[in-house]
Amino acid sequence: MTVGRSPARFKRTARRNRRNGDSIPRPPPAASEGCSVDGLRLPSEPAAILPKDFFLVDSLELAPRLLGKFLRRDEVVLQITEVEAYRPNDSACHGRFGITSRTAPVFGPGGHAYVYLCYGLHTMLNVVADKEGVGAAVLIRSCAPISGLGTIEERRGQKAEKPVLLTGPGKVGQALGITTAWSNHPLYTPGGLEVLDGPAPEKILVGPRVGIQYALPEHITAPWRFAIAGTPWISAPKNTLHPA
């Protein structure tokens, strides 16, 4: 699953954008300090894989730090635009069930993947946070496509250059072509599935997490959902998000 290879430059494999509006972000020619398109800051140089230490923090700290970073699997590169933090003693976190065959990766070391099926259909990618044994993670809710659009569309079974392609955690998992077999995969090692460095967003939106009505009231309303401000690549509902 993890075959070493050197990081490649981000290449646009998608067809040329022929429409205006909420379409795939396309940077102008590279500048020394990168560029900003569709509310997203794009680098002018290849990004490095983030080290393990980057992930060894509280999930509430890791979540906003992941915004603007990149996920790479083969030719597909996605920029993370929306996330949710899940913490220890959080009634919405899978860690509340303790260590089971399904949740064991959540209690592993930070920087590993935790992948599970939602309703037996949707593959949900989480980035494990903090030290081993803590039981915390960050759900990747939405992304923007940076390269490999043809592969993304094929995996999604949908041709689109608009946010509907990747706004929702199940769509992200499908676009990356991952299964639960990727759970516990180290995201800081070359090859396979990687998290790459990327520019921090200029402004962030925060709000309550989505679809956790089963949780305790204080966790339902906790503002632990984070998104990049000014980009359309964010899932619904958007009206619960506000400037940080």
Flag whether pLDDT at 13 surpasses 60.
no
Which range of residues forms the domain containing residue 86? 52-202
Which has the minimum average pLDDT: 30-44, 102-116, 151-165? 30-44
pLDDT at 121: 76
Flag whether pLDDT at 85 surpasses 60.
yes
pTM across the whole model: 0.84
Give the span between the Cα atoms of 56 and 39, in whole angstroms: 28
Mean pLDDT of 164-182: 96
Whether residue 107 lies inside any domain: the answer is yes
Give the span between the Cα atoms of 205 and 242, in whole angstroms: 5
Structure confidence by residue, pLDDT tens digits, 194-244? 999 999 999 999 999 999 999 999 999 999 999 999 999 999 999 999 999
Q: How many domains does the chain have?
A: 1
What are the distances in angstroms from CA 167 to CA 53, 162, 174? Answer: 28, 9, 11
Whether residue 235 lies inside any domain: the answer is no
CATH classification of the domain holding 63:
3.10.300.10
Flag whether pLDDT at 59 surpasses 90.
yes
Whether residue 110 lies inside any domain: the answer is yes
pLDDT at 167: 96
Whether residue 63 lies inside any domain: the answer is yes
More confident residue, 166 or 24: 166
Flag whether pLDDT at 11 surpasses 70.
no
Whether residue 237 lies inside any domain: the answer is no
Whether residue 99 lies inside any domain: the answer is yes
Whether residue 82 lies inside any domain: the answer is yes
pLDDT at 27: 40
pLDDT at 221: 97
Whether residue 242 lies inside any domain: the answer is no
pLDDT at 61: 98
